[in-house]
Chains A and B, each alone.
Chain A
Amino acid sequence: MRSFNIKYFDGKSSKPTDAKLTVYPSYWKIIIDENNSFTNDIRWDVPNIKPSKVYTKNLKSFSYGQYPFQYIECKDALLISEIEKHAQQKRLYNKVDLALHKFTLKSIATLALLIVGISVGMYFYVIPNVAEKFAQTLHTNYVGEFGNFVFNAIKSELDINEERSEILQEFAGHLELNAEFPLELYVVDSKDVNAFAMSGGKIVVYSGLLDKLTNENQLAALLGHEVSHINNRHVLRNVSRDLSGYIFLSVIFGDINGVTSVFVENAHLFKSMSYSRDLEQEADEGGLELLYENNINPEGMLELFQILKEETKIEDFGGIEYISSHPLVDERIKYTKEQIEAQTSTFVDNKELKNLFIKLLNRN
């Protein structure tokens, strides 16, 4: 039977002792001094041996028993093959680790590839789909509460015009919008040319945009677009996708280091912006459908885009679509035109809407 040269420590003092180790099926025998038959051999029963569990190429170490541990170090690479011969000692080594450390470079490459492959799959497929499913199946009440929670947080910063809000509410009441939630509309006094929808049925239109509109069809198109966001639960879907993707990335890359997380965070931002452009297009299409259902002239949507186009011309963002959360207006005009041309419809002038629209403009 093979014996191995080891350094032995008794757990009482730091004094090293040269010793010989022999591995038997159910115990290890440590002989301190071969020439002195008076010293007792030390017996380590296999169940009480603790492996160091990490295999650096040039050292194996084990400890034994309760605190304070006896401890041995062995530099002989063959010790592991000796342990492998005994089925009871399986616990003392790890086949996977041994294999991984045997083929160093191949292991590193394989592991790195697996990490990249699985992360990409999780990030682009599994996580967004699970997050979307979650957002779509969440009970209406919770969606409403989430919307209220967010809206209450920002409400104090909005300069709400009560009078115009009421008229806008009435205007929406005359439209068949098939909303999942009871709609609450607000007109906010602000120069910004903007409007937004929140989970649970809240729509905010800035007076800066409202005052640029010239007929009721444009306003109906705007509301159609926003209601379409609400019906499709766009905010919640966007938030849950964005957040879960972000958490996933920070779990992986937070573990690596700061520089990498900066790269990754920016890539994530690009991706979520491209997703919100998809959502905008979906809302444009849904909004147009709502115009058809209410027999309103779909040209209202095109006119609305034209107004937005004038506005962006003034601000001039340089028009790089890739870094915007909205598609470029020209793009929106193009696909909306195509949608209108593909559909035949009849529309009638709606007196009530017209009157309410005029009333709304006069309260400026």
Chain B
Amino acid sequence: MEIIPTKSTTHTFSFLGKGSEYAIIFFKNLLLTILSLGLYYPWAKVEKLKYLYQATEFKGNRFTFHGTGKEVFKGFIKVYVLFVSLYLFVIFATATEMAGMAAIAVLVFYGAIILIIPLAIHGSARYRSSRSSWRGIHFKYFGSRKEMYQLCVKGFLLTIITFGIYGHWFQVNLKAYIAKHLKFGNITFNFTGDGLDLFLIHLKGVFLSYITFGIYSFWYMRELYQFNIQHIELYQGEERIKTTFNISAGDVFSLIFVNAILIVFTLGLAAPWVATRTLAFFINNLALEGVFNEDDIQQEAIDDYDDAAGDDYLDFFDLDLL
């Protein structure tokens, strides 16, 4: 018989990665990337993700990243071809020396880059979810490409018209859309943040940081992290499970301060240690709170999505969904 928990309890995550272990992977990948003039990047990315997932533990078991170098390589080629053709287009358009052609070409170039972003977000969310599992149960993103497109176009336009103010609502809507269309087996997600709250956090944060010569910025970042994480909810059947992220401004300070010292004084060689410290900060402080039964998550129909192009596209701009 299974024991069904009825009491709300706290369930913590732990990050078990070590800087020295990750440094081997990091430097090996860097070496191979240099020797291959960048072509090794897809395999490097996969090994990095596999390590970081596997170093993350919940209830005694680890996460797994199932992506392969081949999948990421195919996506990488698509992104590469796209950028090369966009550049060639601009160069040829400029070379025609026709009046206004150069301006049109540049407009098309940036237009294309922006219009592809919603597709990339959709693709990245599907690929990463499909390739991530814990205890053999997979994530699944089932959002629609069309809705994502509408959301982004509306978001971009309103953000421009309102001089950036709507950007906060846009960000929140985007997170909510992704969360509502994400599943982990039969567990569903929700994001309850509100655009106005995010706007006020930024407004207060910038103002107070300014008048305290930056000292308030640690409280500001703490609020921002908590806003982004603690508004995520999980549902197991009828049970609502909340996420908590209990950190102090001092924790934020020591994360950022020590990271900066490590990078500056080692000319960047400490990058792998900085990466593991940072992940440890986020993962070790993350917890689920509620009536939750980790042994009773059922696998649902899996979305076997192997197109990594969207994910690679976002890499290109250093954007990371997770």
Identify the A interface with B (CB < 8 A).
Answer: 7, 9-16, 50, 52-54, 56-59, 61, 63, 67-71, 73, 100-101, 104-105, 107-108, 111-112, 114-115, 118-119, 122, 149, 152, 251-253, 255-257, 259-260, 263
Contacts and interface: CB of A to CB of B under 8 A. Distances in A.
B264 to A, nearest CB: 6
Interface string B275-309: 00000000000000000001111110010100000
Interface residues of B, number: 53
Contact of B51 (A54, A118, A119): A54
Contacts, number: 139
A107 B24 contact: yes
Interface of B: 16-18, 20-21, 23-25, 27-28, 30-31, 33-35, 37-38, 47, 50-51, 54-55, 60-62, 64, 66, 94-95, 97, 133-138, 185, 260, 263-264, 267-269, 271, 274, 294-299, 302, 304
A69 to B, nearest CB: 6
Contacts of B299: 11-13, 68
A31 to B, nearest CB: 18
A194 to B, nearest CB: 26
B61 A16 contact: yes
A16 B295 contact: yes
B31 A115 contact: yes
Nearest to B29: A255
Contacts of B271: 256-257, 260
A303 B60 CA distance: 82
Given A15-B296, A253-B268, A104 B21 contact: yes
A115 B133 contact: no
B54 A56 contact: yes
A103 to B, nearest CB: 9
Given A105-B20, A122-B34, A100 B28 contact: yes
B30 A252 contact: yes
B296 A255 contact: no
B251 to A, nearest CB: 21
Contacts of A14: 134-137, 185, 294-298
A16 B58 CA distance: 13
B17 to A, nearest CB: 7
A259 B263 contact: yes
Contacts of B50: 52-54
A56 B51 CA distance: 7
A252 B34 contact: yes
B62 A61 contact: yes
Contacts of B138: 67-68
Nearest to A15: B295
